[in-house]
Structure 1
Amino acid sequence: MYRIVRREALTPTTFLWDVDAPDVAAAAHAGQFVMVRLHDGAERIPLTIADFDVAAGTVTVVVQALGRSTVEMRDRYQEGDTFADFVGPLGMPTEIEPVSRSEE
C-alpha cells in the first residue's frame, strides 16, 4: 500500500498528491510516469511524475479529475489514506542537452 503524505487542491478539478514511494523517487527521471491503481478491481491510471524528492522518498503527481477513477481520487482519497499500487518509474526519461551561450 502507498500513502498520500500531502494532498492539495489546485483548482476545483485539479489536485496534487505527494506519495510516499522511496523506491520510485530514487529511480525517477524527468519525463517518466507511474501507473496508479486505487484498489482491487480499479483501472490502472498512467500519471506523469510532476516532481520527486529522493531525500524525502516522495513522488508528486498532478491530476485533473475528469473520469471515474480520477474523480474517485479527488473525492475519496485524503492525506494519510493509502491505495493499492504505484508502479514506476516507467517510460523513457527526457534527455535535456546543456545550453551554452554563443560568443559573438
Structure 2
Amino acid sequence: MAAAVPPAPFPLPEPPKPASNATLPILASGSLPLLPIHLTPGVHVPISEFCKTYSLGSNICKKLIANGFSMSIALRRITPDHLATMQFKMGEIAELLEAVDQWAMATQA
C-alpha cells in the first residue's frame, strides 16, 4: 500500500488559468479551428474567389457554398470535424487546411 503524501510545508501556487482572449473562435466540437489561433484571417473575399485564388477544386467550393458559406472570413469558425460532417473527403480537408494557412499567412507578411 502506498504511503500518503504529507502536506506541503508551504502554500502551493494556483494552477495557471487560460488567458481570456475575445478573438479565440467559439468551437462547439472541441477540435482545432481551420485557422490556427496564432494567425490573423486573410482578406475577406467571396468563397468562390477564395477557391479560385487558392486553386481549390470545384467540389470543395460547391460544398462550402451549399453549406451556406459566402465569405472567406467564416472559415475561421469551423473545424475539420465540421467539414467531415459536411461530407468533405480527407484530401479535400487537407487542401482546404493548406489554403486557409496560405490565406492567413498572406496577411502576416
Same fold, TM-score > 0.5, yes or no = no
- Return the TM-score normalized by structure 1: 0.31
Rg: which structure is higher? 2
More helix by share: 2
More strand by share: 1
- Return the TM-score normalized by structure 2: 0.30
